[in-house]
């Protein structure tokens, strides 16, 4: 059967595509996804949090793992709400990277801004402290991925301004 005839068949019966996809699914890679947010307030300051469970680089961006059925931007909104009590607007994705530590894991960094400027921060048990930083001051040591998200966020903000 030629490619054209096969394409025409699939156009008449698009449900046929699902059969080979379901048969091949066990052979595709399964990955986990983490999402972090570079959150900026109205003054242009970046939110960094001190993580209780990150012993090598405790300071970083808020975020966490994607749950089944979630999209990455839903994940970053949920994680920020759970960890800090903040409601954020996801502006755009900044970077997607394969994890250095986990073989089947992707990390996604997002540019975010507060939905409302007057929101109080309520830290979860996963976080020890928080601080708003300007991009001109020295930041605490960050993991390579978080540092790259901050660099991409600074570049995106320069373009948006």
What are the pLDDT digits (tens) for 2-17?
888 877 777 788 777 7
What are the pLDDT digits (tens) for 32-78?
999 999 999 999 999 999 999 888 999 999 999 999 999 999 999 99
Say if CB 44 and CB 135 are below 8 A apart.
Answer: yes
What are the pLDDT digits (tens) for 109-156?
999 999 998 899 999 999 999 999 999 999 999 999 999 999 999 999
pLDDT at 67: 95
Does CATH place domain 31-160 in 3.90.79.10?
Answer: yes
- The pTM of this model reads 0.85
What the block records as the tokens of 47 is 């939110």
Nearest to 161 by CA among 5, 17, 40: 40
Backbone angles phi and psi of 132, in degrees to 5: -95, 130
Distance in angstroms between the alpha carbons of the first and the last residue of the chain: 55
Nearest to 47 by CA among 87, 9, 19, 8: 87
- When comparing pLDDT for 28 and 64, which is higher? 64
**What is the pLDDT averaged over residues 18-38?**
83
Nearest to 84 by CA among 119, 134, 55, 58: 119
DSSP 8-class letter at 95: E
């Amino acid at each position: 059967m030629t490619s054209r005839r096969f394409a025409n068949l699939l156009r008449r019966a698009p449900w046929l595509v699902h059969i080979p996809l379901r048969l091949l699914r066990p052979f595709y890679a399964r990955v986990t996804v983490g999402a972090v947010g570079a959150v900026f307030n109205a003054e242009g300051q970046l939110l960094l949090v001190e993580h209780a469970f990150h012993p090598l680089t405790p300071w970083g961006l808020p975020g966490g793992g994607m749950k089944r059925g979630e999209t990455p931007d839903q994940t970053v909104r949920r994680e920020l709400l759970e960890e800090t009590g903040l409601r954020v607007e996801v502006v755009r994705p900044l970077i997607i990277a394969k994890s250095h530590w986990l073989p089947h894991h992707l990390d996604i960094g997002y540019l975010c801004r507060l939905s409302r400027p007057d929101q109080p921060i309520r830290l979860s048990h996963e976080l020890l402290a928080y601080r708003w930083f300007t991009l001109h001051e020295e930041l605490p040591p960050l993991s390579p991925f978080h540092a790259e998200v901050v660099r991409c966020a600074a570049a995106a903000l320069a373009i948006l301004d």
